[in-house]
Amino acid sequence: MVIEIADWESPIFEEITNVLKKHSDFYHIRPDEETIMSLPGIEINLNRRKVFCNQHEISLTVKEYDILCLLGKNRRQVLTYEQLYQKVWGVNALGNEKKIV
């Protein structure tokens, strides 16, 4: 679950975090801790899993987002079909490689 609050110093934010802190899985990320991957014309907010193209948010599926991040993190490298499949789906690829021209 992701909760976005514009003013994280507001009393309501404190109330929400106090309730959530009772759960061991809870953590929060402040805006100054966010990691942004920048590509030409694209910004990927890695903490919020949001993608912006020319400052417009782009809606991606989970796998589309994972593939975009993988390719962005491996710029200027050639990844094989097997590498893509293993890193995104976490299993060995089935079937034959298909070359994209």
> In the predicted model, is pLDDT for residue 80 greater than 80?
yes
Q: Which residue has the higher pLDDT, 29 or 40?
A: 40
Confidence of residue 18 (pLDDT cuts 50, 70, 90): confident
| pTM of this prediction exceeds 0.75 | no
Q: How do the domains of the chain map onto residue ranges?
A: 1-32
Token readout for 100 is: 């994209």
Mean pLDDT of the chain: 78
CA atoms within 13 A on the CB side of 69: 19
Average pLDDT over residues 21-38: 68
What CA–CA distance (Å, rounded) separates 63 from 26? 24
> In the predicted model, is pLDDT for residue 101 greater than 50?
no
What CA–CA distance (Å, rounded) separates 36 from 47? 8
> In the predicted model, is pLDDT for residue 94 greater than 90?
no
Q: 3-state class of 16 per DSSP?
A: helix
Confidence of residue 64 (pLDDT cuts 50, 70, 90): very high
Burial of 16 (0-12, 13-18, 19+ CB in 10 A): middle
Average pLDDT over residues 62-71: 91
Q: Are the beta carbons of 41 and 30 closer than 8 angstroms?
A: no
